[in-house]
Chains A and B, each alone.
Chain A
Amino acid sequence: MPLSLTEESYLSVSLSQRPPCRPDGRDQLQFRPIDAAAGILPTTNGSARIRLDDGGECIVGVKAEVIAVSRPDDVHVEVDCDIVGLLPSSPLQNLLCSTLETAIKNSLPSRLLRITTKYRYKIFVDGIILDHVSHPLTLFSMTTYLALLDTRLPRLAPDSIGGNDNDKDEIGIPQFSSDWADSDRLCMSWSPPLVQLAIIVGKNVFVDATGEEAEVSDGGLLTVWHDGRVVGLRVVKTRDSSKQVFSINSISNAVEVLASASRDIEKALKEIRTS
């Protein structure tokens, strides 16, 4: 439902004053509680579900397929998501999928997907966003992160591997170990990228904005966080009439805020996986 003029002006004044005052009393850097679970779907290689306090919910399943490749260094990853209530290939869906796909492709070392010289794993990340009130990008990214942490890829069957590495490359179609416990975690040495979105209102920056807060924002900024640093940056439209004109100060401020938020979230998600 669109905000009334009064609501809009109240929100934009309270959010742009210093220090800002959010309608739910949160700190600029504070997230709402989330409910997260990993490894919920036995038919996938890795899966996760995250539900936000406002009812937004996302389920992500990761599946791996074996493909024959000609160029050995390519990373084959496909990210797709279904946003309920929106038509396929809507701008929002394209933003979500392309951002995450690029982020994963750029950070995932190709050796992790190697089976033999000829065969590689192709990773499919599929998400369903059951409901969203606020911008679903952060939600989708967090769920994908958790699902990738949960992802396991089967090892080759012990009897199909010879003594040395050359033999391993000789075999034709790879035979996999049928024991699911005998599998490798995808994220042993790699940590997936995390995409976070912040909205900018005047000089202030907020993480985990509610739908109403996004309605009065000047625009949004997303950062791609990987391995302890920010590796990507992009300006995002958060509402139809957003100005998307920011001062350099607020951008650098936003990057700083997002970096520290990403660090905390990464830690929290890793704890969920291990617990």
Chain B
Amino acid sequence: MPRDLTPSTIENTFVLKALTERTRLDSRSFNQLRDLDISFSSTDYGVVDVKLGRTRVIARISAEITQPYADRPYDGLFIISTEISPMAAPTFEAGRKSEDELVISRIIEKSIRRSGALDTEALCIISGEKCWAIRADVHFLDHDGGLMDAACIAVSAGLLHFRRPDITIVGVGSRREVILHPITERVPVPLAVLHVPICVTFSFFDVRKASAAIAGLPGKDNMKEADDDDVEEENDSSTTVLVDATLQEELLRHGYMSVTANTNREICQIQKGGDMPVEVGKLLSCAEAAIMVAEKVTKLINKRLKEDEARRNVGNLLVEARAENDR
């Protein structure tokens, strides 16, 4: 079993020392995202390539017609598959779910599917008989931290970009039939995306623990730390919060929280596992910061979507041929 890479002590000390001096190794500020690049496939709908710094994720949305679940006849199916292959990083093993992978898939599931980003009722064709099954396959190509953030952006953008073939229902009663119009015949239909969830991960560093490590005294003043808590509670300056950590920072961090937000100022999901305790006010300000990031990222997605549409819309044919009208 490949083991997690453990950063060397010297690396550890260097990164943490730099953080106490308010510097990140890639010279970003603490609340700055890495360069985000979103590009869409020029041929297929719903294929998105997201680059977040050196992290790279491709999401592919596909649709097929199947039978809905018996207990939910009016709902279509929406499946997100997030299997991490060794292509992303050698620590991931094919076919074996590691704990990181579990956390990532659960967070993406909660962020996008459970928050109702896709209106599954709109996927119903004939209740109880036929519905669309939308499938999002996420491929992690390169891992330099922030896999779930990148995957979430990729799936959200993919859903917005995806077009499913248009259909017509003919006949009545039990003799109803569905005619599928290939996208070369009719202008394909976008999905009913209700909101765009964006996941942001905050990494926490305890500077006091860090300074202990720097002094070469691992955990020595841990006991004292517990006593200090009451005094420093209100002004908890020892916690450093980083947005969008790189892999190195991820391996060294003492705790993290991922927040999924959208532009409606809604929080879709918060996941802070049980690591490093953080003062409650700090968590709230993280949640607020997540909304700001979500707004920024959504803006970028929309900009890229417009560019892509302009590129496809040669001679304004798409607008003319569209079935629905502007509401």
Tell whether any CB of A sits under 8 Å from a CB of B in the complex.
no
- Chain A residues with a Cβ under 8 A of chain B: none
- Chain B residues with a Cβ under 8 A of chain A: none
